[in-house]
Amino acid sequence: MSVLLTVLAALVATGACAYHRRSLLIWTIAVAATTLLAGLALAAPVTMVILLMIEAAIAVPLLMVPFRRRQISAPLLKLFAKVTPTLSETEQTALDAGTVGFEGELFSGKPDWNELLKQPKPELSAEEQTFLDGPVEELCAMIDDWQITHELADMPPNVWEFIKKHKFFGMIIPKQYGGLQFSALAHSAVLQKLATMSATVASTVAVPNSLGPAELLLHYGSDEQKNHYLPRLAVGEEIPCFALTGPYAGSDATSLTDFGVVCKQTVDGKETLGIRLTFDKRYITLAPVATVVGLAFRLYDPEQLLGDKADLGITLALLPRSTPGLHIGRRHLPLNVPFQNGPLHGKDVFVPMSTLIGGPHMAGHGWRMLVECLSVGRAISLPSNATGGVRAAVASTGAYARMRKQFGLAIARFEGVEEALARIGGLTYATAALSRATAAAVDRGEKPAVPSAIAKYHATEWGRMIASDAMDVHGGKAVQLGPKNYAGRAWEGVPIAITVEGANIMTRSLMIFGQGAIRCHPYVLKEMQSLVITDPDEQLQTFDSALFGHLGFGISNAVRALTLGLTGSRIGATAGDDYTRRYYRKLNRYSAALALCADVFMGVLGGKLKFKEKLSARLGDVLSYLYIASAMLKGYEDAGRPEADRPLLAWAFHQCVWNMQMALDGAIRNFPVRPVGWLLRVLVFPFGRREVPPSDRLGRRVAALITAPGEARDRLLEWVYLTPTANNAVGRMNALLPDVIAAEPVERKFGKAQKAGQFKAHDYLDQLLEAQKAGVLSAAEYELLKRVREGVFEFISVDDFDSSELRAAVTRADKHRLADAA
């Protein structure tokens, strides 16, 4: 027994050092001292000596750094160089383009929550709030989405002019060029509010402020280009588009078949150095109305007029619409959400070298320019539009479920509907926190490549789920299109956000973990970078430091994952108050589990992991939900820890943790090297899968929150256009909601009288009048029920049309006749 206790003492000391990430020297001292004390106290001298010899055999060679480097690290460096896949130039550019924020802490296995909580609370400036309360409100009041989507297939001229006049296209442009120079948070808030009224308007405003000419010019344009274009873009004198996607290159932008050849051509009697372009682009938002086109293509210089390279690589240029040979103007129709979107093409189009963004010296740097700007633009546009959409779903579905009655009860009372309402409320809380966190990262000067991919994927996927739930709750009301339908177009347009700016399948399976594993890991990138160091001594020193740091990191994460799994995440100092401390501890556990699994997966599978997309997607899910849960906790802290928000936070947090557990379980269960998978399961799930999804009781509380006015619901509806104007049915519904709730006990009293047969009339309003005369209802109660009945009828009504109204104004036969005549 004394032998076992001595060995156990040494193992506990080792585990404690690994858990707390002590240095090798401290581990050596601590374990040796523990072994010595335990051996003497337990009278086990032989065991003590054997253990001390083993410890010395491990520690001494590792502490002798020059020896360690020559005898251990040098051979491993050679092996590492053989088995490590070489990063392509495009992969390296993508890795170099972004920055690492708090997501790096989540990949560390031991997050420093103070780093998260000390970040400033994201807030709008007074100027930004004034814009939101002024021009944005005015624009929302002008929007008639049925007119836009069905009657005009475009925004009406007064909306276009208003957007230009008030510089909606210039939110990211500095004031020195006439723009608004808004923060990313304000940019996000504007898009969210517009998205609650019209996906078409929100998309139209989003694109010029996202990846496109303005963003590219700000970062890479020459002074002459900035001074010419940016003031015009700010006031809508120029309408920009950016043409990247073509028939053979979508998400894989590096496979562009569009090309340009450097050449000389006589223009206006002068020999001009320029580029002859051939391109075929599609899905280009704003292209049909654009006056300036950003174009991505591959540039070749066969005569080496610019230098000694024939293939210069991806390059970006700005082409005026008037460029001879540029064919533009036809439109696509993206799922009946008619934002301006269409193809453009050209063959042997000659442009001067001055059209290159940044000038000739930026030729071939297009891929870097794209990925650097995309990490910022993708963090704002689609997540913000999706967040506006889901916030609107809370407003509309929460109110409708309280108004719409079946079997004498508001449908919000039915458990099936309650389940959908809980998802709408909980996922909206998570989406809003995620959107705000990524915008805040941009405002801190980060280029959040990994968080932007997380935000794009999860905000749009949750948008799809919430839109589906909203349709289910509304039933036939949401199916019948027309001016009264505020949900149908949102449902139709959901796949658009899923597919653009990196299709969601690709974003999840390739980008989130693919970039996160290398970019966020504290050692992997350093190990890979050591391979390109030319000085042998410096290379070995760099690799040795990264390698042994990585080994200690892996051991620590294994110990932390096991310990926190065994204790149910109930130990360890962490952030938060009495309510949230348990949440931070949960995230500590799954951070360690992710770091451990990522190391093992990369170590065992090596470069093959890149092709195991389902495995990397699941690990990416874990990183995503860690980031989202962290964003929710930060938002909760920033809001002053409101008790009213706790059901929303709890539902969304438990859903995130459940998803993390299932993603890890799926990754481990499908790991191809089964013995390694078995070991990982013991370390990560020592007692099996113990997490559970949000309970029915918790879901009931969330559903109750979004179906009645209150401070928690008000925070969910931040930046939703709720002014009860004639064009805003959702605003009018929410204005009526307090009366609907106030009427419920009166309706119960009136219902009892109905069942008792006290009324002779059959019409509801006539019965109300009888009830008032009979003293069943007071005059105020009569007016309340009458007002609610009439108001609710408006919102449960649907549209109908004469058949002639539904026929297309121009049929395909008409198009053929027009084409033949032409």
Q: Which residues contact 778 (CB under 8 A, 6 or more apart)?
A: 772
Q: Could you please report the per-residue DSSP string of 32-50?
A: HHHHHHHHHHTT-HHHHHH
Distance CA 282, CA 713 (A): 41
Q: Is 88 exposed, middle or buried (0-12, 13-18, 19+ CB in 10 A)?
A: exposed
| Bridge partner list, 292 | 240, 320
List C-alpha distances in Å: 33 to 5, 9, 30, 54, 197. 15, 10, 5, 14, 69
List C-alpha distances in Å: 350 to 274, 292, 353. 7, 16, 10
Judge contact between 313 and 322, C-beta under 8 A.
Answer: no
Helices (H) and strands (E) in the chain, counts: 36, 9
Q: What single DSSP character describes residue 266?
A: E
CA-based torsion, 482, 155, 457, 332: positive or negative: positive
Distance CA 187, CA 206 (A): 9
List C-alpha distances in Å: 77 to 65, 69, 553, 600, 810. 15, 10, 18, 18, 69
Closest among 547, 400, 515 to 91, alpha carbons compared: 515
Q: What are the start-end ranges of the E strands in 220-371?
A: 240-243, 259-267, 270-285, 292-300, 311-320, 327-328, 341-352
Q: What is the largest CA-CA distance in the chain?
A: 107
Tokens representing 210 are: 């996202």
Say which residue the tokens 């000419």 belong to.
213
Secondary structure of residue 489 in the 3-state scheme:
helix
Judge contact between 422 and 406, C-beta under 8 A.
Answer: no
Tokens representing 601 are: 């997966």
Distance CA 275, CA 295 (A): 12
Distance CA 216, CA 199 (A): 25
Active site includes 643?
Answer: no
CA-based torsion, 787, 791, 796, 802: positive or negative: positive
The radius of gyration computed from the CA coordinates of the chain, to the nearest angstrom, equals 31
Tokens representing 529 are: 């970078």
Closest among 532, 527, 579, 534 to 548, alpha carbons compared: 527
Tokens representing 801 are: 């049309």
In the set 55, 103, 418, 501, the catalytic residue is 501
Measured in whole angstroms, how far is the alpha carbon of residue 26 from the centre of its chain? 42
User: Which residues are tagged catalytic?
Assistant: 501
